[in-house]
């Protein structure tokens, strides 16, 4: 699996932006990816970063309605990546806080 196939998108919420000061970055990741693959993908995509730990969460889809029809959004996986103290920050998130 390619690094770009593992890291799908950044997750930008109030909680994730507040965690940026602690060098914690949140990403939407592939369902089949494990913590080791996620750590290697972040270090490969964002040069100069060193991952200290990875926490993963399986998010359940939310119930949605469209008129009289109802269903659920897709389930997805979220990863919170903590970088080491001497690691370089991820530039994409620098303008958010």
With helix as H, strand as E and coil as C, how does the chain read?
CCHHHHEEEECCCHHHHHHHHHCEEEEEECCCCCHHHHHHHHHHHCCCCCEEEEEEEEECCCEEEECCEEEECCCEEEEEEEECCCCCCCHHHCCCC
Which pLDDT tens digit goes with each residue over 7-58?
Answer: 999 999 999 999 999 999 999 999 999 999 999 999 999 999 999 999 999 9
Q: Which class does domain 3-87 fall in?
A: alpha beta
The pTM of this model reads 0.91
């Amino acid at each position: 699996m390619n690094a770009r196939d593992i890291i799908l998108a950044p997750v930008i919420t109030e909680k994730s932006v507040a965690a940026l000061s602690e060098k914690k970055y949140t990403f939407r990741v592939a369902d089949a990816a494990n913590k080791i693959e996620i750590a290697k993908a972040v270090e490969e995509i964002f040069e100069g970063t060193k991952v200290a730990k990875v926490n993963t969460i399986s998010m359940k889809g939310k119930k949605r309605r469209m008129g009289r029809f109802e269903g659920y959004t897709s389930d997805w996986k979220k990863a919170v990546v903590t970088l080491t103290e001497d690691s370089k920050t991820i530039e994409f998130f620098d303008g958010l806080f």
